[in-house]
Amino acid sequence: MVGWSTRRSTLTACTLAFFATMVARLVISPVVPAISAEFGVSNGTIGLALSGVWLAYALAQFPSGLLGDRFGGQLVILVAVGGTAVGSLLLALSPGFLPFLFFTLVLGSAAGLHYSVATTLLSREFDNTGTAIGVHSAGAPVAGLLTPVTAAYVGAQFGWRYAVVLGAVGAAPTLLLVAAGIPGRAPQRPDERIRDRVDPQVLGKLLTRPPITGTLLIAVCSAFVWQGTASFLPTFLIEHRGYSETAAGAVFSAYFLVQGVGQPLMGWLSDRIGRDAAMSICMAAGVLGYTLFVRGPGLVSVALATGLVGVAMSWGAAMLPKFLDHMSTAEEGLGFGLVRTTYMMFGASGSVGVGLLADTVGWAGAFLTLSGVLGLVLVALTATALRRRLRSNLSPTETPS
């Protein structure tokens, strides 16, 4: 009972920390016009700052795992949440655009220290890794459900600086919860210098390990679709489906709500039917969902598409445990951060890619392309499953050399 209580408190603290770091990143977007007006810069220039947040976040994934092994998971997560609070406060106090741009990098780097360390910590605490990671990952879509509406309201009533400082307001009390909820266990590699572990040959061997390479390619494709959806779903609904901004915002919130429920469910499912089978369900749901967004008639089609796409974008709860399944305990801190940085950096091109597609072939073509990307992933997963079944049915004497 005591052990379960400790695991539960660790999971709760990690999930709240993820929620807090995501809130701090999401509060900026709803008040972009006000920031642009005050600093006298274009929306595109503000977009550059937002890209900086996500790029810094991606780059921080790799060193975070190393830092967790060297100094312990609790300390790194405390630094992540505390740094997020400081970054949000500095953004709110920015005297000009250049300091604002720099502080977005501070925010993204601090927030990025959390996820890899927390996931590795949970993999060591729980036997059902998929379920634990699914619950933990639900912190992001819950933040996506609540933050845009709250930030927009606060920004309209009091100004953009008060909206941005909500990131610090959410992160500050989370520090206490992390300190109380995550046990201060001894680090895995307290005496080994970080630079001694950063061996390009070792990193290359890990990334080229066949199960990890294949999963990494799938993760890049899936992250591309996630990023494109998160960036442009409301705009798609407004410009292609003719929805009002309010209606598009409501659909966007519903999309995050489905993810909030879908992440733990998909993690639970992956523990029971296998990672690839759960991922295949996500991809199939996405193929149908994006097609319905483009071709389906009426409100019912949009509602069904929203549910299907929300399920599809819960893929991380099944995919991330698969990376850990193919790493030893000693590799997890280093390896998981490395694969997170790798697929997130490439997947971040989803915003640019979908925007360019919308400009060249229209919104219908852009979202059907997202359906096609997930369709290719589904074909690859199906082919892998068939090949595995064929090999298992061959006798040792029939197996090709």
Q: How far apart are CA 319 and CA 282, in angstroms?
A: 10
Name the amino acid, one letter, at 198: V
Q: Worst-scoring range by mean pLDDT, 3-7, 249-253, 309-313?
A: 3-7
Length of the chain: 401
Q: Which two three-digit tokens encode residue 34?
A: 């006000």
Across 15-29, 105-119, 137-151, 287-301, least confident range: 137-151
Backbone angles phi, psi at 193, to 5 degrees: -70, 145
- pLDDT given for residue 20 in this prediction: 93
Provide mean pLDDT across the span 320-326: 82
* Three-class SS state of 165: coil
Portion of the chain with pLDDT greater than 90, in percent: 32
DSSP state letters, 317-370: HHHHHHHHHTS-HHHHHHHHHHHHHHHHHHHTHHHHHHHHHHHHHHHHHHHHHH
Looking at residue 197, its pLDDT comes to: 61
* Highest mean predicted confidence (pLDDT) among 105-109, 283-287, 323-327: 283-287
Whether the predicted pLDDT of 277 surpasses 90: yes
Going by the DSSP 8-state scheme, the letter that residue 401 receives in this structure is: -
Question: Cβ-count burial of 85 within 10 angstroms (0-12 exposed, 13-18 middle, 19+ buried)?
Answer: buried
* Distance from the Cα of residue 318 to its chain's centroid: 13
> Both tokens of residue 220?
């890049």
| Per-residue model confidence as pLDDT tens digits over 85-143 | 999 999 999 999 999 999 999 999 999 999 888 888 887 777 777 788 888 877 877 88
User: Residue 62: its pLDDT value, please?
Assistant: 79
Q: Are 319 and 222 in contact (CB under 8 A)?
A: yes
> Of 187-191, 244-248, 353-357, which range is least confident?
187-191
Give the span between the Cα atoms of 105 and 109, in whole angstroms.
Answer: 6
Q: Please list, in sequence order, all residues whose beta carbon lies within 8 angstroms of the beta carbon of residue 307, skipping any fewer than 6 positions away.
A: 258, 289
Identify the residue whose tokens are 């008060």: 162
Q: Give residue 132's pLDDT.
A: 82
> Please, what is the angle between helix 316-325 and helix 114-125, to 10°?
70
- For the stretch 249-265, pLDDT in tens is 788 888 888 988 888 88
What is residue 217's predicted lDDT score, i.e. its pLDDT? 92
Half-sphere exposure for 196 (CA within 13 Å, toward CB): 7
pLDDT digits (tens, 9 = 90+) for 40-74: 887 667 767 777 787 888 888 878 877 877 788 88
The whole-number pLDDT of residue 2 equals 42
Q: Which of 138, 101, 161 lies closest to 317, judged by CA?
A: 138
**Domains in the chain with CATH codes:** 1-180 (1.20.1250.20), 199-401 (1.20.1250.20)
The pLDDT value recorded for residue 285 is 97
C-alpha to C-alpha distance for 337 and 344, rounded to whole angstroms: 11
pLDDT at 194: 59
- Work out the pLDDT band at 401, boundaries 50, 70, 90: very low
Residues 136 and 150: their CA atoms lie apart, in Å, by 22
Q: Which residue has the higher pLDDT, 189 or 308?
A: 308
Range of 55-64, 179-188, 368-377 with top mean pLDDT: 368-377
pLDDT at 3 over 60: no
